[in-house]
Structure 1
Amino acid sequence: MHKPLPLQCTSLNFRGFQYAQAMLFATEEINNRTDLLPGISLGYKIYDVCGSIARGVRVTLALANGNEELSSPSQAPCTRPARVQAIMGETSSSPSMAIATVIGPFHIPMVSHFATCACLSDKTKYPSFLRTIPSDYYQSRALAQLVKHFGWTWVGAIRTNDDYGNNGMATFTETAQQLGICLEYSVSLFRTDPPDKIQKIIDIIKASTSKVIVAFLSHMDMDVLIHELSHHNLTGYQWVGSESWISDSQIAAMDKHHILDGAIGLSIPKAHVSGMREFMLDVKPLNSSGNELFTEFWETLFSCKFKQSKSSAGNQRECTGHEDLTGVQNSFTDMSLMPIFNNVYKGVYAVAHALHSMLSCNKTCNNKVQLDPYTTSQHIKRIHFKTKEGDEVYFNKNGDPAAKYEIINWQPTENGIVDFVTVGLHDASLLADKQLNLQNKSLIWANNSQQVPVSVCSEKCPPGTRKVLQKGKPVCCCDCLRCAEGEISNITDSITCVQCHPEFWSNERRDACVKKEAEFLSYQEIMGALLTAASLFGTCITAVVAFIFFKYRKTPIVRANNSDLSFLLLFSLTLCFLCSLTFIGQPSEWSCMLRHTAFGITFVLCISCVLGKTIVVLMAFRATLPGSNVMIWFGPAQQKLSVLGFTVVQVIICILWLTISPPFPFKNFKQFKDRIILECTLGSAVGFWAVLGYIGLLAMLCFILAFLARKLPDNFNEAKFITFSMLIFCAVWITFIPAYVSSPRKFSVAVEIFAILASSFGLLICIFFPKCYIILLKPENNTKKDMMGKGAPKSF
């Protein structure tokens, strides 16, 4: 077992030296003022913790106890009040957490200028910690909003493997998920990691498909990563950086291969403190004070060695102590971190204002007030003042300042030096949708491109498609599936397709619902026009026949065939032809009720007339037999009453149908998906089939009676013509039923119209055309002798 060697600080860090210089500048400025702490001088002790948590805790305990040098040997350690009223620092989050934990029980206030971990806002763990730099809670969310603003939904992430990086990236990841951003990978890095671990990170970046990398790294870890990236020449990636390195000119100077060109990120707003730059570059007072630090600082600055220096080497030039600072260009003379130096400046002034309040200073201060760290801590939390540059300084309940950031873009210049251009602002105190404010400035992206890089796992799904997640991949990776028929999506990246209203249908692109085409049998289309023409033609022919019968009403052939029933039959046939027109055109409530009832009543009237004529034929033949008086019981009055009686029955059926459940217009969406079938639904199917059944019953009765009278003398009766007409009528309507049921859409209406017209033409032609033929072309046969001829009957 061996005791580990003590920690050695092997090199001078100019950044840490600059922070110390900023504290000295603020302290001297306060001591030279008469309005702030008059008569009181601030003192200080500076410790170099070398970036070590252990060393930081050690010096903190020394400051808290103030027992490095006891005034008398008899005084016990840790029994007197702390000599220090406040601790300025630390720079990093992890050492700050350790130090704040140690000094928490002593309530010594600690004011950090660069520790940004959101965890330090927890006052239950770190009650006396305050800072002049915003919490990473706001920075992480701002970075996620920035990534979302440029449409990057598929990014990689690299973080420092400490409290700063892990906590910052955790908040970024949480916010990114809320904004729909996916991380392809998230890896951690620490500057002391072995080469094989860093190589794994390089391999992950190479294998990735995302083109944007969010780097939540400290500047020291970024130094290590830049060296490896340059070695592998990994260019072309868009870097998004945290405030720790995005505005650090040292990092830019190391980027010889332009890996980070076009980087964008958040930075502490630019600041100017008059006199600070000149003070920090003036190191002569440091030499005159006899400070041992001067020797190491000067040797590091000019790469030389003093003779008396223990580490002097023969191969280095000798320092004179009078070297010219004006020509030096390194991190010491670089003032790019002036916003952070300003944070140190604000912290010292915050402590001074708190002491000014505690000592009740006006023109003088009350020196008798016993100072204690707890009271000092409480006063610092309540201070609110403005610096000489006009910056407001105050702390919220968590010890944090207002969160405001500048958005920085790395724009390389012609001489190879990176220009940190402010392209926007982020103010966390505003509403969420107004926090990010990008100025109208041209940005430079990776590879010096003017176009915003694209970094998505899957392209956006256009309207007309929906997103479907790819199995085993994050939610940002998806396939675009076209919406099904009747469904649409009218926004980009829709996760669902919306069903169109039943009266609408999706267009070809599936991005809008268009009104379905209404389909019905119209007068404009060919089929409707032909049926209309046939109906009107039948009406005209019937009218012509009626005219012929009327003109020749006194001739034997018209008189022998019951002229009253013939004219009534012609009238009913006219109605039959015309009622077919009610089936054509867009269905309405009235047309639906009219078409079936008018059809049913007119056809019953028609069949009743034919039935009456058939009965008359049979009765007339019976009347010629000796002793028969049958015509007394079926005279003209009885014939008309029978027609009326048969028709009234149908009227009653129709009235019951219309009363109980009438036909009504119906939009049929089910039969065809892309169109609406406008049709008349039957209402009560029993009513419809009752109407048809009654017509069929009369037609069958008429057919049977006509068939029985078929062998009567040819010249005396028209029984065989009625038989033919009824045969046609029954054949048409028996065929109609299966054809009607099986016909789709408007064709079912056409079938019904065709059946009406066919049966009407059948009746008209079979019953009236032979008579018209005799009247017009064979007038010599239109005599009473021919009508009463006794020729042998012909078989049928």
Structure 2
Amino acid sequence: MDSGCGVGVFYLCLVTTLTWGILECSSYTRPLMATKEGDIIIGGIFPIHESVNFTNSIDGRPSPRTCSRYNVARMLQALMLIEAVETINNSTLLGNLTLGYRILDSCSDVTTAVYVTQRFLDVNRTVCQDVWTAEDRTHRTSTDWQPVDVIIGGYHSEISIAVARQLSIHEIPQISYGSTTGLLSDKSRFPAFMRTVPEDRYQAHAIVDILVRYGWNWVGLVTTDGDYGRYIAQRFRERAKEKGVCIAFSTVLPDILDDRDLKTVVNETIANIERDDRIGVIVSFAKPYHMMYVMHALTPNATGRTWLASDNWATSAPGVLQNSPLTLEEIGTVIGVTLKSSISASFNRYLESLTADHANNNTILRQYLWWLQTKGQSTAQPGLGEELKKKVYPYAIFSVGMAVKAIASAVKDLCADRSYKGGKHFQPWMLKNALRNAAFQWEPNGHPYAFDERGDLNTGYDLILWRQNGQEVDMGDIVAKYSIESGNFTFMDGGDTLIANLNVTSRCSASCPPGTRKIIPKDKEVCCFECEDCTENKFTNATNMETCLECAEGHWSGTRSQECREIEEVFFGWEKPFAIVLVSFSALGIVLTLVVLVLFLARWNTPVVRSSVGPVSLLLLLSLLGSFSSTVLFVGRPTDAQCQARQVLFGLSFTLCISCVLAKSLKIVLAFRINPSQSLAKLFQPYLIIAACVSVQVVICAVWLTQSAPRPRRWDNQNGKVILLCQEGSIKADGTENFLYFGLMLGYIGALSLLGFAIAFQNRILPDCYNEARFITFGLLIYLICWVVFGPIYAHAEAGEDQPAVEMMVILFSAYGLLGTLFLPKCYVMLFRREANTKEAFLRVIREHNFRASLDQAAPEISLTSHSSELSLSMHSSSSQACLVGPAGETEARNGGPSSVMQLVHVAPPPPNTPVISETRCDVVVVKNRKKKDLIRCNTVH
């Protein structure tokens, strides 16, 4: 540096010369460069500028290519190489050997990169002396320049591919810190290429895994035309298809900077986003300057989306959002996938100590310092290092630093037994082989790294989230790390929740929840589907399953089920509260029946018992015991014996009960309505009638048990239960139950009940002490109502575990009805009205009934026969027969006229040994009623 020129003036003059001066041998702007001599020279290719301005000349002469858009972050990457080399030289790793470097600016342009690479290779040409010191320009010639031994760079895959083709000719090893395309893994075409980053196939896997994790299966795809864009887009499509992720649209942005179609394709991309509001996520593998055009063209209907950025532009927020009319919040959310990052305390100290002296032989840094001066900022300001640390790409610290460490480790292994001082040097292919076998670490005693057989270093990825920080965008928020070996994300504290809370939806169709299956129409994408409920005994336990799974044997599921449940067998068991209640009523009925039975036996010779046809009443009580007992068989697990016994026991016992009631009704008719002298009365045999009625039911039950006996049956319902019930009949072809014999049994009992009801109803107006017909009417009426209601309900009701309780209740109601109407009044008289349970009381009731019946006659004269009345109650055959007969004589009974005489006649002469209860004289009394009619009342005297 000339001492006679001020530092600021020198910087200004030098940068102006470097920027606008044209080399004599080409049309390229003199590139920025940083150099340092050493025993091993490392070449560096860094995209310090992001683009090249080029205009084709009219006359065909070479037009100048001017680098534009200086990138401070890329400049810092070049400083990372410088700092790493100095760190190695200051250590004892290489002994007396030192590393040197020559770093050139590729301007993010393939043609420019090829040009600067040629300068590394073409040692016979004059190397630009303008960038060296005055001493270098005076003493050095082209033959003095030591060729590079290894090259670090470039960053973009297209540049690395072009450079690798040049270097492969000379077998000069190349280590990229950012090129990720899988094409460079082909060692047949790029034998000398290596990289400290994984290839794009893994990045495509990581991005698809993010989409799958958050259910984003309907996405847009944007990429830049070129080797990198085509390769990673193809890998992404393949992986997305495997994982069920669909691409709603795909656009390829042309890579030619002055392509007039670029704006058209950008507008097409925006239109695709606007057209489908189901697209909430766009995956982009485009270059930063392409994304800048896209972000500038966003319309209100295209904002608010989530952008998944590849490593190509995930750390280029300043360039992408440069001069954008929209803020990051308006654009949406940017989630970036970057290469593995790290921090370096030594590089931070280097930036903090950075001064103008570091710009010696470094026009890359010198231009940045000049740019600061043009803004009026001092290059010696204390905060310069802090400002630069904010612009550092964390991934570059790791990838650039690992490249230098790999070279140092390979040189150490290669030079362990040799001395390369004094002009001796190894061949490039020897260093390439040493690099392939080298093992190196980022930190002392840290995880060892090595290149694989394809020259790749599979270090993994970081997932970052862009955040607005004042006027700048913070890209250092790492929310997760991706491991290539395991293929899984490890989220930082709250990282997973942070992304999930973005509430991003990007699906063609809503997910099919568990319990449904996914149906994909033939004419639609796999992501556009319909959901169908799983049928019974099938289930799905995850979202978007395409097939409903069958339930295992012994398990069951309903419609739209998420799991199968073990089938539960249910029946009307003893543990159910309602069963306990009904059984309690059954036991109470049995006890009451036994009490009545004992009471009847204890009062056997009393008029109440004898007038109730005692033996028939005992038989009736026994039948009620059978009816009450049959209800107990309706509780518990159904078995063959139980199903058959309960219906047969009920049928026969209740038939016996109704037969006894029918016999009692017929007995009353004979006693009060029919002349005992008639042949019909003589043929009446109650026990034969009872036996005949029961015999018919025995035949019905026997045929029933023979043809289609009741059997236990399993009834499936919709609650995962199997109901165990007794099948009362055979099953028809349509699956319904045939109740023929069950209906015959109940119908026969019903027919007997109707007959008994009709007879009893006709004889309900009898002496109170003989008024069983009234109670029989009530008892049979209760029975008929219960079974009329029960029949249709039972026949049409669906099977249920409480179905036996219905029949059980009907039987109890019927039995209690007969027990209560036929026996409880008599028990009440025997226990609490003993004065009414005497022969005298019975005779008095009969006489009163006779006179009431006489008063109801239309004729004014009533004769009861015989001048000398004598009423005889015959108890023969335990049956009272006191009959009223028609008039035998007529008299007048008006105002002293002839008197009407009421005569009581013995209709049925008692047997010789039958005692005469009493003699009664009847005095006729004529009275006037309210309707002024003459009524006759008989005052009886015992």
Counterpart position of 1:72: none
Q: Which residue of 2 aligns with 1:263?
A: 334
Question: CA 1:398–1:519 in structure 2 vs 1: closer, same or farther (change >3 Å)?
Answer: same
Name the CA shift for 1:654/1:3 in 2 (closer, same or farther; >3 Å): farther
Pairing 1:136-151 to 2, within 5 Å after superposition: 136-146=200-210
Is the 8 Å Cα contact of residues 402 and 442 (structure 2) preserved in structure 1? yes
Amino acid at match of 2:726: C
Contact conserved, 2:643 with 2:726, CA < 8 A, in 1? Answer: yes
Structure 1 residue 93, shift from structure 2 partner: 0.8
Seen in structure 2, the aligned counterparts of structure 1 residues 344 and 523 have a Cα distance that, compared at 3 Å, is: closer
Superposed CA offset, 1:239-288 (max 9, x none): 4333333334642672554543563323341443547656896565338x
Match for residue 288 of structure 2 among 216, 219, 223: 219
1:378 aligns with 2:408: no
- Write the distance in 1 (CA, Å) between the matches of 2:812 and 2:565: 39
Asked whether the equivalents of residues 108 and 377 of structure 1 are also in contact (C-alpha less than 8 Å), the reply is: yes
For residues 320 and 608 of structure 2, the distance between their equivalents in structure 1, rounded to whole angstroms, comes to 124
1:738-749 matches, within 5 Å, as 739=792, 742-745=795-798
The farther-off stretch of 142-151 and 692-701 is 692-701
- For residue 653 of structure 2, the aligned residue among 599, 602, 612 is 602
Partner of 2:859: none
Counterpart residue type for residue 681 of structure 1: Q
Alignment partner of 1:117 is 2:181: yes
Report the CA distance between 1:123 and its aligned residue: 3.8
Structure 1 contact 403–429 (Cα < 8 Å) conserved: yes
- Note the 1:297-336 alignment, pairs <5 A: 302=370, 325-326=379-380, 336=392
Cα drift, residue 383 of structure 1:
0.7
CA distance in 2, matches of 1:504, 1:781: 79
Which of 749, 766, 783 aligns to 2:874? It is 783
1:421 pairs, out of 462, 471, 476, with 476
Cα distance, 1:170 vs structure 2: 4.1
Aligned residue pairs total 726
**Paired residue for 2:191?**
127
Partner of 2:96: 38
1:436 pairs, out of 490, 505, 517, with 490
Match of 2:505 among 430, 437, 455: 455
Whether contact under 8 Å (2:714, 2:724) holds in the other structure is: yes
Is the CA contact 1:160–1:216 (under 8 Å) kept in the aligned structure 2?
Answer: yes
Q: How does 1:612-651 map to 2 (within 5 A)?
A: none
Could you tell me how far apart the structure 2 residues matched to 1:237 and 1:610 are? 89
Asked if the contact 2:405–2:440 (Cα under 8 Å) also holds between the matched residues in 1, the reply is no
1:554-589 Cα shifts (integer Å, max 9, x gaps): 989969x9965663354224434x256447767754
Deviates more, 1:496-505 or 1:742-751: 496-505
In the other structure, the counterpart of 1:572 is 623
Q: Distance in 2 between matches of 1:408 and 1:385?
A: 27
- Displacement of 1:111: 1.3
Are 2:786 and 2:814, in contact at CA under 8 Å, matched by a contact in 1?
Answer: no
Distance between the aligned counterparts of 1:411 and 1:504, measured in 2? 49
Task: Report the CA distance shift for 1:376/1:643 in structure 2 as closer, same or farther (over 3 A).
Answer: same
Q: Using the TM superposition, name which of 141-150 and 114-123 deviates more.
A: 141-150
Task: Check conservation: 2:292, 2:321, Cα contact below 8 A.
Answer: no
Say if 2:589 and 2:816, in contact at 8 Å, map to a contact too.
no
Secondary structure at 1:201's aligned position in 2? helix
Deviation digits for residues 295-327 of structure 1 (CA, Å, limit 9, x no counterpart)? x997897589xxxxxxxxxxxx9xxxx997458
| 1:347 maps onto 2:422 in alignment | no
Q: Which runs of 5 or more structure 2 residues have no equivalent in the other structure?
A: 1-57, 127-145, 669-676, 732-736, 759-772, 830-835, 848-870, 887-906, 908-942
Secondary structure of 2:67 counterpart: coil
Assess if the C-alpha contact under 8 Å between 2:80 and 2:397 holds in 1: yes
Q: Which moved more, 1:171-180 or 1:109-118?
A: 171-180
- 1:715-747 deviations in Å (ceiling 9; x for gaps): xxxxxx9xx99x999999998997477442578
Summarize the alignment of residues 635-784 of structure 1 with structure 2, pairs less than 5 Å apart. 653=702, 663-664=711-712, 666-667=714-715, 669=717, 679-682=725-728, 739=792, 742-745=795-798, 750=806, 778=846, 782-783=873-874
Question: Residues 149-190 of structure 1, C-alpha deviation per residue, up to 9 Å, x if partnerless?
Answer: 666565444322223233334444555566665554333324
CA distance in 1, matches of 2:454, 2:231: 17
Distance 2:428 2:652 in 1: 113
Give the letter for the 1:218 counterpart. Answer: K
CA distance in 2, matches of 1:602, 1:158: 89
Which residue does the alignment assign to 1:399? Answer: 455
Alpha-carbon shift at residue 132 of structure 1 (Å): 1.7
TM-score normalised according to structure 1 size: 0.65
Are the aligned partners of 2:655 and 2:693 in contact in 1 as well (CA < 8 Å)?
no
Structure 2 SS opposite 1:264? strand
Matched letter for residue 409 of structure 2:
H
Shift of 1:600: 3.5
The answer as to 2:340 corresponding to 1:286 is no
Aligned residue number for residue 712 of structure 1: none
1:130 deviation in Å? 0.6
Instruction: Pick the aligned partner of 1:196 from 258, 264, 287.
Output: 264
Instruction: Give the counterpart letter for 1:669 in structure 2.
Output: N
Change (3 A) 1:687 1:609: farther
Aligned equivalent of 2:308? 240
Q: Equivalents in 2 of 1:32, 1:556: separation in Å?
A: 131
Provide the residue aligned with 2:156 in structure 1.
92
Residue 4 of structure 2 aligns with which residue? none
1:360 alignment partner in structure 2: 416
CA–CA distance in 1 between the matches of 2:241 and 2:287?
24
* 3-state SS in 2 of match to 1:263: strand
1:366-389 per-residue CA deviation (whole Å, 9 max, x = no partner) reads: 98786351x432221111124688
Q: Which residue of 2 aligns with 1:78?
A: none
Unpaired runs of at least 5, structure 1: 70-81, 288-293, 305-316, 618-623, 708-720
Alpha-carbon displacement from aligned partner over 1:384-411 (angstroms, at most 9, x marks no partner): 1246888765322332224244443433
SS at match of 1:408: strand
- Could you tell me how far 1:124 is from its partner in structure 2? 4.9
CA spacing shift, 1:21–1:423, aligned 2, 3 Å: closer
Q: Which letter maps to 2:361?
A: L
Question: In the alignment, residue 436 of structure 1 is paired with which amino acid?
Answer: T
CA distance in 1, matches of 2:575, 2:87: 100
Identity of aligned residues (%): 21
Q: Deviations over 1:15-48 (max 9, x none)?
A: 5776666656666776777652735x66767676
Cα distance in 2 between the residues matched to 1:510 and 1:358: 64
Higher RCO (CA 8 Å, separation ≥ 6 residues): 1
Counterpart CA distance in 2 for 1:412 and 1:456 is 24
Q: Decide which moves more: 257-266 or 604-613.
A: 604-613
Would you say the 8 A contact 2:291–2:320 is kept in 1? Answer: no
